[in-house]
Structures are given as C-alpha cells and as structure tokens.
A and B are shown apart, each in its own frame.
Chain A
Amino acid sequence: MIRLNNVKKVYPTRFGDRMVLDGISFELSKGERLGILGRNGAGKSTMVRLISGAERPTSGTVERHMSVSWPLAFGGAFQAFLTGRDNVRFISRIYGQDFERNLEFVEQFSELGQYLEEPVRTYSSGMRARLAFAVSMIIEFDCFLIDEISAVGDARFHDRCNFELFEKRSDRAMVIISHDPGHIRDHCSRWAILNNGRFTEFDDFDVAYGAYKEIMGVADRSLVAADSSFLDSVRNRSHLLEYSYRKAGIDDRFRALVDEAEFARSRAEWTRAHDDWKAAERSYAAALAIYPFERSYWLVLGHAIKEQGNLIGAEICYRTAVAFGQPAQDVAVHLEFVIEQQGLDPRDYPLRRFSRASLPEQVPGKPDIELLSYIFWGTALVADDECFRFLREKSSIDHVAQAMVLDDRYLSQYARAIGAADEEVAQVSVESDHSDQRLDYILAIFFTGLNGPARESLCPKLGRPSDILREILERDLLHDWVLTKSAITSAGYESTRQ
C-alpha cells in the first residue's frame, strides 16, 4: 500500500512561492490502478516524483509499504557514455539482481542486438525508449508509476509494451498519468483530477472526465472573459493577429486539433496516401475555423490540399497565410509552384504581403472573404473559385468589399436589411458552427470602442447577417472604406435613407 498524508509541495520562484500540491491524501492498495488527469503544469509529474521518493514533499508524508518503480519508460537514468549493457549491469547492481538473467531479457525484449555494446549516446530516441522500457521491466515492482508512456517506437513494440505491462503485470498497482483520457479510461480502475493543487477522486471515468472537461472549459472561458476588453479594442489586423495568437496558444481545443493534424501530416508524408492528406486537411481546417488568424497553419493546410491535387484550394491557403503575416519567403516557392501547375506565369499573379495598414487597406485572406460575404451577401459560404479570384485580383479588403457591393447578391441582401424582402431562410441554418466566434470578430472589426453594456445590448440585434449590414449602414461604420462607401452610394443606399 502507498499512502499520501496531506502532502504539500511548494516551489520557490522568483515571484514568490508557488504551491503545486496543496494537501493531497490518498491510498493505493495492491492491484489498484489510479489514473490522473490534469492540465499541463497541474503538478502531475511532481506528484509522481513524490510518490517515487525521488523528491521530498514540503510537508506531509508519503508512506510506501510496497516496492515502487521509478517513473516508467523514463530513460534519463542512463549514463550516456556507457554501453546499453553496462547500464543494465548498473541497474542490476543497484537492485541486487542477477545481471546475466536481466541482460538476456533486455536483449530479447529491446531487440537492440549488438547496439547493446555501443554507448547509449549513439542511440536514436526510439532505441533509447526501447532500452528504457526493457530495463523498467527487469525489476519486478509492486507498483508501477507511468508518466506519459510515449508513443516512441513502432506499433508492434507498443503492443508488446502494453502486453508486458498491463497483461503480464495485471496484478500490480499502478499510477498512470497521461494527457490522453482514452488511455487512462482503458487501463485504470480509479480516476482523479489534479487541478490548482487539489486532488479530486472519482470511481467512474465518465464522471471524472466530465468534471475534467468542465475544468478545462471553465478555465478557458474565464480567460476569454478576462481578455474581452482586449477584443473590444481591436482596431487593426496586428491587434487581431496578436490577440488570436495569445488565445490560441492556451486553448486546448485548438492544440488538440493541431496535434491531430500534425500526426496525420507526418503519416501522410510517409505514406503519401490521399486519405492521410485528407485527414490532415480536415484537422487543420477545423483548427483554423476556431482561430482563423493562426497564419502558419494556413501554410501547412495549403500543403495538405496541394498534395491532394487541388491547386486552387492550395493557392487560397498560401495567399491567406501571407496576408496574415506569414513571411513571404516561406510561401513564395510553394505559391509559384501551384500557379505554374495551373499553366500560368507566377509573375502575373504576385504575392501580396502583410503590412501594418488600417483594416480596409489590408490584404485579404480567406476568412476576410467569408466574413464580408456574410455581411454583404448573407452567406459565409464562398465557393473556392470565387474566393481565389478575390484573393488574386483584389489588393485590399476595401477592394473586395467594393466588388461584393457591386454584385447582384448585395442588392437582395440590402433589400433584406431594410426589410424590403423576405427574411433569408436557407443561409442562416448553415452557419451554426462558429457563429459566436464570427460575431466576436465582426464586433471587433466594425463596432470598435463599445463598452460592455453597449455591446451587450447590441449583440441580440445582430442575429442575422442582414441585421449586421443594417447596423453598419445606419451607423456609417464604413466611413474610411473609401471604395466600398462609394459603391454603396452608387448602389442607391443614400436615396432610401430618408
């Protein structure tokens, strides 16, 4: 049995003491498996080190009445200048075990062959992980501590690790930490959440996971709330980009989607399979739907789309990446390639770079096209063909808006805005997914300088795209959009104003 009694851990930092674990108590008996969920930096690894005895609590006690392993698959205890074999010998000596028998097991399990005679510093990370896992299995502990079993190594090795650990040693106690809730669900019998130094236990995974998601969600919302003053004051693209960057970096949903996408991409780069690129595209697109200004992902999304043979789609992504400030030299080669593949001369269709101009003078990206289309045409769905022509031909957001106003679709949207036409039906239903996000951006871009209450009272009036257009026209919010303004005037808005 392992027992933690009111364990506290405080780390001194330059900004004062930081309480990582604040009075944690629990017991773990033989055969029980405890899974711990928590955000990054919640103190999970600290807890594992305290249980292992490698680190001491600031106060409270850790009792161990069974043998406890070091954190598993952890390869740091290897002396890099020694051979794999000498490292096995060292561990055997420390634990008073039969070296020859252990070496035999490690040879057979790690499949490192004669590399065992080479210094560990010459190993690849995969080989190191194989040796680390094999060495972890030679000492038969009563309780295993598992801190993020990494996915290093191929699938077969992974299966063998799982078999060795969870099947052959199913009678042992375990403490498992993972950022992957599925892993914890499958291998544990008890669950706990570590949050703000507090430890909460659950007997049921679904309850635990529900609480975990709530913690993540609540935390995210509180961050957004704290930051909304910033969004209120976004006046130009630079602010918007910075805001998006800060927010995306701490949003676990975004990070999860990006991880998923990177995984699919690395596989696709290996297999070159259409389906894998498709999977990468889907995940990147989903991530960008939440944070459309994360420019570097437009670049990789472009690659994923290009690999599937969609040159126009790729061009849209590349142009968007540059419009949002991705360095042009990262993108130029790819864009030129895509344009050449279309049978055109890249010199006729130059790249437009991001500049720190006011919003109407900014180079448009795909999300801008969609946003403007939503306002001026009543739908955020813009066909690739149309979108890419805007991006190629229009040098500023003002140009795009002007072209949209001069299109017939604007007239029907305008009619809806002034109540002279039937309400739009079809368009709205398509728009459910990220409408909150979109409204935030619209408020940030057009309705700047609103204080909290004014904003609150405005939001309900902006339910439909035509409402937004009406508010924009009535408040004359496009006064510095020179081209758009003149187009609106010539389209006859002034005459209906009286």
Chain B
Amino acid sequence: MALPVNENPSLLDSLRVQRRVLGALFMREALTRYGRHNIGFLWLFVEPMIFTLGVTALWTATNSIHGSGLPIVAFAITGYSSVLLWRNMPGRCIGSLLHNLSLLYHRNIKILDIFLARIMLEFGGATISFFVLSLVFISLGLLDPPEDILEVAGGWLIIAWIGSALAIWLGAMSHENELVDKIWHPFSYLLFPLSGAAFMVDALPKAAQSVILYIPIVHGVEIVREGYFGTKARAHFDLSYVLPFCLVITFLALFEVRKVAAKVVPG
C-alpha cells in the first residue's frame, strides 16, 4: 500500500508529523552521541553533572569569594548548571547542518528540526543534571530546598530560551559563514565570567550593576537564585528587558533559518 498523501493536513496532523520527526531526530542524535555502550543514555546528564561537581569542588576548595552570604555549594550548582544550559546549545548547533544535509531528502525534516532536536537534547541533559544534583545535595543536607520551585523553573526557562534562540540563529548563520564558529568559542568563554554564574549582581558596585544587567543571561541566573534562596539572594532582574530581548533574537533566528532554507543544497 502506498504512503498516503494528505493534501490538506489539519493543524493536528501537522503537529503529529512534527512530533514524529522531532522524536526520531532526538533519538538519532542521542544514540549517535552516547551510543549503546557502557552507561549509554545516562551520559546525557552524567556528563554535565561531572562538570558541575568538578566546578563545585574547585570553588569549595578555593573558598571563592562570590560576594554574598550564600553557601558555596548552592552557589556553584545554580551558577554552573546555567552556564552549561546556555553555552552548550549554540555549541551543538553551530556547524550541525553541514553534516546533516542529507537528512533534507526526507521531506518532513526541515533545518529547524535538526536544530530543535539538538536543543532538546541539551536542554534535557542540563535540566536533569541540575535536578539530580540538587536532589542529591538536598538529601545530604548540604543544600536547602529551593524556596520557590516555580520561580527557579521560570528563570531556568528564560536561560534556555536565550540559549535556544542563540543556538538557532548562530547555527543557521554558521552554514554560510565559518567565522561564526571561530568567534563563538572565545565569545562564550568571555561571556562565562560575565554571565552571573560566579557572582551576585548585588555584590557589584552600583555602576557595574547597571552595565552587567545589559547581559540578558544575568537576569535569568538572578531569577533562578531568587527562586532558590528567596530574599537572602537580593536578586536584580528586569523581565521587561529580558523577555523582549528573547523575542528579538528568536525573530532574528527564524529569519535566518528561512533565508538558509531557501538556499541550502542537500549533499
């Protein structure tokens, strides 16, 4: 029996196809990266967990000054987890089209799907890692449970949004310009200490605060910390700045995807 052709698919039909395609790409991506050997899929969050644990250990050992009375473990976990979240998404998407162009021969796969599958994987890994680590430290008594879980989730999602939009934008641009790949690495390195992972905005001098708050990621991290530590954190953020910012990069990203999709030649 031939494959049926749906000439006028309803939104529901289209969503079903979209879910199928993303699911298939997600599994393909996960299998390709983690394989079926040793712990397989578990690497998805074990890898970021090792990172975060390492940084937590280092910061604890050197007794880093972060300018607040918060426990160092809690500070490191919230800080470094958020770095993994926004930094790995673009890292995975830049240059990803080139090796996956042949996928476009399957008509339901669009270049946006290739990016989305990778972003989902990164989001999943970073989130599970953050969640599991929190759980472990809370049960060990090294960490107090978050004061407002919903606020933590909100901040986390804002960081993820910035990361995803950036990932799609840079990923699409990198297909036509290899400079994107070259520049992203140093850029993300420089952004790391400025992203609020290693300090609280409140601890900075007033002048520096207003400058650092131009970086949207800082707002997300501050929200996560406020959710975790409540008023102890004295967070500084402005939703009316960070949300429009996200919308603008998202628009730029989708615009770039459209431009590349019209020109791309499957290999």
Q: Which A residues lie at the B interface, using CB under 8 A?
A: 11, 49, 52-56, 64-68, 70-71, 74, 76-77, 79, 81-82, 86, 89-91, 93-96, 139-142, 172
Contacts and interface: CB of A to CB of B under 8 A. Distances in A.
Contacts of A71: 105
Interface stretch (B23-31, B67-75, B245-253): B23-31
B31 A55 contact: no
B106 A94 contact: yes
Given A77-B102, A142-B3, 16 more contacts: A11-B265, A49-B266, A54-B104, A67-B2, A67-B4, A67-B5, A76-B267, A79-B32, A81-B35, A89-B27, A93-B20, A94-B20, A94-B106, A96-B20, A140-B2, A141-B3
A76 B102 contact: yes
The winner among B2, B27, B108, B109 for most chain A CB atoms within 10 A is B2
Nearest to A119: B35
3 closest Cβ pairs, A-B complex: A93-B24, A76-B102, A70-B105
Contacts of B1: 140
Size class of B's contact patch?
20 to 34
A86 B40 CA distance: 14
B20 to A, nearest CB: 5
A1 B106 CA distance: 19
Given A67-B3, A77-B105, A94-B20, A55 B264 contact: yes
Contacts of B261: 56
B121 interface: no
A81 B3 contact: no
Nearest to B107: A53
B17 to A, nearest CB: 8
Contacts of B7: 65
A74 B20 CA distance: 23
Given A79-B32, A93-B24, A139 B3 contact: yes
B262 interface: yes
SS class, residues of chain A in contact with chain B: loop
Contacts of A94: 20-21, 24, 106, 108-109
A291 B21 CA distance: 54
B110 to A, nearest CB: 10
Interface in B1-22: 1-5, 7, 17, 20-21
A104 B21 CA distance: 22
A222 B106 CA distance: 41
Contact of A65 (B5, B20, B32, B109): B5
Contact of A56 (B2, B32, B262): B262
Interface in B46-99: none
Interface of B: 1-5, 7, 17, 20-21, 23-24, 27-28, 31-32, 35, 102-109, 261-262, 264-267
A142 B5 contact: yes
A77 B106 contact: yes
Contacts of B267: 76
Contacts of B262: 56
Nearest to A67: B3
Contacts of A55: 104, 264-266
Contacts of A49: 265-266
Contacts of B106: 70, 77, 91, 94-95
Nearest to B266: A54
B24 A74 contact: no
Contacts of B103: 77
A2 to B, nearest CB: 11
Contacts of A89: 27
Contact of B32 (A67, A77, A82, A139): A82
A54 B265 CA distance: 8
Contacts of B4: 67
7 contacts: A49-B266, A55-B265, A66-B2, A74-B102, A77-B103, A95-B3, A172-B2
A311 B23 CA distance: 66
Contacts of B35: 81
Contacts of B27: 89-90, 93
Nearest to B16: A96
A68 B106 CA distance: 10
A91 to B, nearest CB: 8
Nearest to A81: B32
Contact of B107 (A52, A79, A142): A52
B24 A141 contact: no
B227 to A, nearest CB: 37
A43 to B, nearest CB: 12
B77 to A, nearest CB: 33
A116 to B, nearest CB: 14
A54 B35 CA distance: 28
Contact of A90 (B24, B102, B265): B24
A93 B23 contact: yes
A55 B109 CA distance: 12
A76 B265 CA distance: 13
Nearest to B29: A79
A54 B107 CA distance: 6
A32 B2 CA distance: 16
A54 B104 CA distance: 5
Nearest to B105: A70
A305 to B, nearest CB: 42
A30 to B, nearest CB: 9
The winner among B31, B105, B262 for most chain A CB atoms within 10 A is B105
Contacts of B28: 79, 82, 86, 90
Nearest to B28: A90
Nearest to B106: A94
A13 to B, nearest CB: 12
A67 B7 CA distance: 10
Contacts of B105: 52, 54, 70-71, 74, 76-77
A52 B108 CA distance: 11
Nearest to B108: A94
A295 B32 CA distance: 48
Contact of A140 (B3, B102, B104, B107): B3
A64 to B, nearest CB: 8
A142 B2 CA distance: 6
The winner among B4, B27, B28 for most chain A CB atoms within 10 A is B28
A90 B20 CA distance: 10
A107 B21 CA distance: 24
Contacts of A11: 265
A70 B105 CA distance: 5
B19 to A, nearest CB: 10
A131 to B, nearest CB: 14
Contacts of A53: 107
A55 B260 CA distance: 11
Contacts of B24: 90, 93-94
Contacts of B32: 79, 81-82
Contacts of A56: 261-262
A82 B5 CA distance: 30
A88 to B, nearest CB: 12
A70 B102 CA distance: 10
